[in-house]
Amino acid sequence: MKKAGCYHPPVRFQRFLVTGGAGFIGSHLVDRLLEAGASVVVIDDFNDYYDPAIKRANVRPHLEQPERYRLVEGDIRDRALVQRLIEESGTEVVIHLAARAGVRPSVEDPFLYQTTNVEGTLNLLDAARRHGVKRFVFVSSSSVYGVNDKVPFAEDDPILAAASPYAATKIAGEALCASFSHLYELPSVSLRFFTVFGPRQRPDLAIRKFTELLRAGKPIQLYGDGTSSRDYTYVADIVRGILAAVELNSRGHEIFNLGNGSPTTLIELVRTIEEVLGVTANIEWLPTQPGDVPRTYADVRKANARLGYTPQTSLREGIAHMVRWLDSQAAAS
């Protein structure tokens, strides 16, 4: 394995389209691209899956750099808009993060997930291959592994046992990328993220939710018996992995896990947050939710070998960064 901290990918390309660039992970990616001197167009529909004011706050610093940043408030399901945008902007690299991202809500409304995550991805791929895009990076998810008994999860494990419509849409997205690489020589990469956390994390996700409730002295609800586990991955590590994938020299379609390679059980997660905050949790136990999988655990050897990807931030350090960010938010409001 490469030593931690030694890999800083350069940005070889200049013109990027980032879909979902107002969201949690997308906005961190845009920070890095702008710092690296690239030009970035973002398309985001600011939907109300969570409070759009959070997304407005995420893009505020980017809007202060209008010479290299353009925000398009639009929907990736709008095929004509997507075609026009990629053609007009001379996009070299598409990094496609826009999606309906929750597992449980996808059980409630699978049609919304299908149109956004599958048709939206197809619109982008089609525009990319028509207008000379050089790289297409698709953001997939560890959910594609479904209920996988074999750990750690490796890129060549079978993935046709999706446990939720969300997972099924990500499998479809990967398959579309593979087919467009095959048919049109559009190099593409699918990156399977494992539960991402850090400052600006989506308010519906466990670490953010628990941290805010525990800070406020409120009880938290845990599903199952506390033994389910997740391979929590810090957002800055994920962004380094994305940038390395952009630089990958490959002609076809490649798949990489971007995880931490070190899973944590739900109850260990709560104990870690308690320690960082110096509080004791009041826990209400609830039954497992439909669509949830018992574990995720990334095998990151391929990403390490091909992308130089080495996760650098432990769960405890990441939670401490997140608590400092929540403190700064509270102080500013």
The C-alpha atoms of residue 278 and residue 154 are separated, in whole angstroms, by: 36
**Residues of this chain that bind ligand NAD (CB under 6 A):** 20, 22-26, 43-47, 49, 55, 75-77, 97-101, 116, 120, 139, 141, 193, 195-196, 202
Cα three-residue angle 211-212-214, rounded to 5 degrees: 65
Q: Is 309 a catalytic residue?
A: no
Least gap, CB of 26 to ligand NAD (angstroms): 6
Nearer to ligand NAD, 28 or 135 (CB): 28
Least gap, CB of 190 to ligand NAD (angstroms): 11
The C-alpha atoms of residue 140 and residue 106 are separated, in whole angstroms, by: 15
Tokens of 316: 């405890």
Tokens of 216: 């406020």
Query: Which of these is catalytic: 49, 113, 166, 234?
Result: 166
Least gap, CB of 161 to ligand NAD (angstroms): 17
User: Sheet of 253-258: strands edge to edge?
Assistant: 69-73, 39-44, 15-19, 93-96, 135-141, 188-193, 253-258
Nearer to ligand NAD, 105 or 187 (CB): 105
Least gap, CB of 142 to ligand NAD (angstroms): 6
For residue 258, the surrounding DSSP H or E stretch is strand 253-258
Cβ atoms of 76 and 123 within 8 Å: the answer is: yes
Q: In which residue are the tokens 């209920």 written? A: 147
Nearer to ligand NAD, 21 or 187 (CB): 21
Residue with CB nearest ligand NAD?
23
Nearer to ligand NAD, 98 or 168 (CB): 98
Residues annotated as catalytic are 166
